[in-house]
């Protein structure tokens, strides 16, 4: 699919990832194993030591007036939202810290690996100056999203977990194991828990977090300002239903000032079609955290062309093959 409406595409976690020169805009480059690695984003206060630890962690200091003003943001501005896209090597972990000091982590990466992902998330938290995660949102119960939660909880206090409810993919042994480990964590009684429903607004100070999808259900009404007909629907038939945990992903639209960030977890194309046809219920966004790591089971034209992101961030990894299959260098250059 040609993502002509995406202006920048960012891949995290490719084997040869390296930051580009300061002052450059994000760019895609081809690595020796044909996966796309990275991009560059340049900030005057690039945290080099932290980036070394995390291989590649992109930090966006999101100013109140959205992306055009991001070029030289004040790192310690009281009005800044800070977003850490943490490289968990093909899983997902994104940390938002609001000007009010509240934190929202979306997903906890993989388990195992000698605490690699938990350590990287904690390093990001410490880098931004917090020693507690107020809200940890689990999009769904696959290994690369919830798997790291117990290790993370052992390393840093967490206030509230947010999820979509029960695991619905009990037939998959790894998913069930991860779900039971997460349930055990909740059963300690140390944490509050929110089971989110589409249309909910999550109680995080400083940002508006609207629930778009959860447990297979979707918002029924368009968000304010959205609801326009979606031309991409005319050439797109509804895909067959996906039976895994992916279409049950807890997806959110996070708004800070005029900046909109869309994270639908691993929501699949069948749900994208339901959500975006015939009317675009989301509207346009600035940052699109590519659904399902950019796999072609997600990120269909009816979603991506309609939300028309300014930046797409792909949670890639050295062992992910998504970039080879689904994205092309020419598509980047034709944007
Ligand atoms: Zn995933």
The 10s digit of each residue's pLDDT in 247-268 is 999 999 999 999 999 999 999 9
Burial class (CB in 10 A: 0-12, 13-18, 19+), 177: middle
Residue 56's Cβ-side half-sphere holds a number of Cα atoms within 13 Å equal to: 25
Residue pointed to by tokens 């194991």 = 177
For residues 323 and 292, is the Cβ–Cβ distance under 8 A?
no
Mean pLDDT (whole number) for 124-132: 97
Give the neighbor-by-neighbor strand order of the sheet with 94-97: 58-62, 81-85, 94-97, 103-106, 133-137, 158-163, 192-195
How remote is the CA of residue 11 from the centroid of ligand 1, in Å?
14
* Mean pLDDT lowest among 143-152, 270-279, 318-327: 318-327
126 has a pLDDT exceeding 50: yes
177 has a pLDDT exceeding 80: yes
188 has a pLDDT exceeding 80: yes
Residue of higher predicted confidence among 315 and 55: 315
pLDDT band, very low/low/confident/very high, at 322 (cuts 50, 70, 90)? low
Nearest to 6 by CA among 280, 237, 318, 327: 327
pLDDT band, very low/low/confident/very high, at 319 (cuts 50, 70, 90)? confident
Euclidean distance between CA atoms 176 and 221, whole angstroms:
33
Provide the H-helix boundaries in the chain. Answer: 48-54, 116-128, 143-146, 149-153, 173-187, 269-276, 301-307, 322-326, 329-334
Return the number of other C-beta atoms located less than 10 Å from residue 329's C-beta. 13
Class of domain 8-334: alpha beta
Mean pLDDT (whole number) for 169-192: 98
The set of residues, in sequence order, having a beta carbon less than 8 Å from that of 194 and lying 6+ positions away, is: 160, 161, 162, 163, 202
306 has a pLDDT exceeding 60: yes
> What pLDDT is attached to residue 296?
87
pTM more than 0.75: yes
How remote is the CA of residue 106 from the centroid of ligand 1, in Å?
12
31 has a pLDDT exceeding 80: no
Burial class (CB in 10 A: 0-12, 13-18, 19+), 187: exposed
Helices (H) and strands (E) in the chain, counts: 9, 19
25 has a pLDDT exceeding 70: no
Residue of higher predicted confidence among 103 and 62: 103
How remote is the CA of residue 279 from the centroid of ligand 1, in Å?
27
pLDDT band, very low/low/confident/very high, at 327 (cuts 50, 70, 90)? low
Ligand 1 ion: residues within 5 Å (CB)? 144, 266
pLDDT band, very low/low/confident/very high, at 36 (cuts 50, 70, 90)? very low
How remote is the CA of residue 141 from the centroid of ligand 1, in Å?
9
- Angle made by CA atoms 272, 311, 30, in degrees to the nearest 5: 100
pLDDT band, very low/low/confident/very high, at 64 (cuts 50, 70, 90)? very low
Q: Give the pairing type, strands 29-30 and 217-218.
A: unpaired
How remote is the CA of residue 248 from the centroid of ligand 1, in Å?
12
> What pLDDT is attached to residue 317?
82
Burial class (CB in 10 A: 0-12, 13-18, 19+), 14: buried
Euclidean distance between CA atoms 161 and 262, whole angstroms:
19
60-86: b (≥16 Cβ within 10 Å) or e: bbbbeebbeebeebeeeeeebbbbbbb
How remote is the CA of residue 186 from the centroid of ligand 1, in Å?
22
Mean pLDDT (whole number) for 193-209: 98
Domain map (residue ranges) of the chain:
8-334
How remote is the CA of residue 144 from the centroid of ligand 1, in Å?
5
How remote is the CA of residue 319 from the centroid of ligand 1, in Å?
13
């Amino acid at each position: 699919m040609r993502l002509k409406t995406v202006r920048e595409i960012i891949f995290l976690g490719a084997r040869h990832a390296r930051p580009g020169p300061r002052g450059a805009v994000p760019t895609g480059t081809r690595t020796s194993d044909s996966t796309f690695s990275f991009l560059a984003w340049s900030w005057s206060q690039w945290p080099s030591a932290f980036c070394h630890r995390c291989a590649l962690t992109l930090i966006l200091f999101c100013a109140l007036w959205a992306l055009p003003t991001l070029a030289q943001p004040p790192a310690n501005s009281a009005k800044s939202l800070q977003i850490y896209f943490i490289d968990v090597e093909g899983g997902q972990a994104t940390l938002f810290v609001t000007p009010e000091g509240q934190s929202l982590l979306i997903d906890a990466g993989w388990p195992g690996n000698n605490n690699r992902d938990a350590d990287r998330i904690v390093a990001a938290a410490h880098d931004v100056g917090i020693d507690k995660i107020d809200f940890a949102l689990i999009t769904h119960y696959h290994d690369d999203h919830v798997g790291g939660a117990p290790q993370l909880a052992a390393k840093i206090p967490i206030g509230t977990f947010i999820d979509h409810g029960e695991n619905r993919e009990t037939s998959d042994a790894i998913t069930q194991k991860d779900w039971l480990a997460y349930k055990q964590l909740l059963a300690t009684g140390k944490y509050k828990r929110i089971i989110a429903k589409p249309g909910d607004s999550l109680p995080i100070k400083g940002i508006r977090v609207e629930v778009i999808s959860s447990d297979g259900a979707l918002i029924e009404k368009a968000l304010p300002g959205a609801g326009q007909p979606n031309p991409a629907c005319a050439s797109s038939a509804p895909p067959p239903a996906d039976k895994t945990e992916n279409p049950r992903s807890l997806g959110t639209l996070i708004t800070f000032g005029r900046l909109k960030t869309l994270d639908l977890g691993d929501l699949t194309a069948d749900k994208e079609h339901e959500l975006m046809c015939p009317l675009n219920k989301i509207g346009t966004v600035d940052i699109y955290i590519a659904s399902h790591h950019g796999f072609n089971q997600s990120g269909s034209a009816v979603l991506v062309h309609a939300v028309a992101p300014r930046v797409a961030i792909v949670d890639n990894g050295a062992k992910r093959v998504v970039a080879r299959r689904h994205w092309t260098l020419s598509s980047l250059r034709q944007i």
